[in-house]
Amino acid sequence: MIPCMLTLLLAIPWVSAQLGVSFSSGYDFFTGKTEIIRTETTFTPGAMELKPKGNLFLWPGLWVPANRTTGDLIQTVISADSTLALECGAKKGQWCIAPYVMHGVAYADRERRQLAIDPDAKIRIIYSKTTDGAKWVQTTLDATTGKMLQNYTGGTGKKVQFEFSTELQYGNLGTTSTQVYEDTVITLAAPDMAFGKGKRKGSATIEGVTSEQEGKIWKIKKVVIPAMRSGVANHPATGKEIHG
């Protein structure tokens, strides 16, 4: 979870109850035997509502739930709110994307350079460790061209849970189109055959879960998170309305 008004509140304490934070459909993958040392996934956010209310955050996250008040949550965040043009220069229908590290429930650090992305963009999001294993690196790539978009180092500690999350703040009514995560690869420090069971949240669906090296490497072909409600969006390239 991350604070709202992202540019202004990077290091200001916050209380989730005051922001009206809630979470929708997604999927969690947890290991109780080892730790996660690397993850990769390709994300397509789908069309954004024309006039979003509150704040909507879509993110794959890496953390330790038992340490949620003190540990670091690694999360590259795709966001929608009424200030996107100011945040990242987004046109109508575009999302903002930036790597974040949420430190407990106190404050967040992030890559200063947010970028605007189209709703049909395919963004490769990679979480890996620095060579010495001391910190985490978040890398975003254009999955179609291979171009690096962002590379941010920050956050520490072992991580045991990887999840696909939909976060709503300040009365946001939820997504109006489908989110898709494809070609996910999760690497553990040691094998854990129970890791691939996962935990479904809401209406999310999953397909093509396989493992290699006796459960050390896990691959997920696709995770689909359906729209929470119907709505009208606008494609930034064509200007045409998209009805969810």
Which of the residue ranges 91-105, 135-149, 183-197 would you say has the lowest mean pLDDT? Answer: 91-105
Residue given tokens 């093509």 in the structure block: 208
Whether pLDDT at 170 is above 80: yes
**CATH number of the domain located at residue range(s) 24-243 in this protein:** 2.60.120
Higher pLDDT, 231 or 53: 53
Question: Once rounded to an integer, what is the mean pLDDT over residues 109-124?
Answer: 94
pLDDT of residue 1: 57
Question: Once rounded to an integer, what is the mean pLDDT over residues 213-236?
Answer: 84
For the chain, give the longest Cα–Cα distance: 50
CA-CA distance, 25 to 227, in Å (whole number)? Answer: 9
In single-letter form, the type of residue at position 216 comes to K
Higher pLDDT, 187 or 12: 187
pLDDT of residue 237: 53
pTM: 0.88
Whether pLDDT at 106 is above 60: yes
Whether pLDDT at 10 is above 80: no
pLDDT tens for residues 48-101? Answer: 887 788 999 999 999 999 998 999 999 999 999 877 777 899 888 899 999 999
Residue 148: pLDDT band (50, 70, 90) is: very high
Question: Once rounded to an integer, what is the mean pLDDT over residues 98-112?
Answer: 92
Angle (nearest 5°) at CA 165 between 159 and 169: 120
Residues 6 or more apart in contact with residue 244 via CB below 8 angstroms: 47, 49, 175, 176, 177, 227, 229, 230, 231, 232, 233
Residue given tokens 């990679």 in the structure block: 126
- 3-class secondary structure, 138: strand
Considering the chain, what percentage of its residues have pLDDT values greater than 70?
Answer: 86
Query: Residue-wise over 100-139: b if at least 16 C-beta within 10 A, else e?
Result: bbbbebebbbbbeebbbbbbebbbbbbbebeeeeebbbbb
What are the residue ranges spanned by the domains of the chain?
A: 24-243
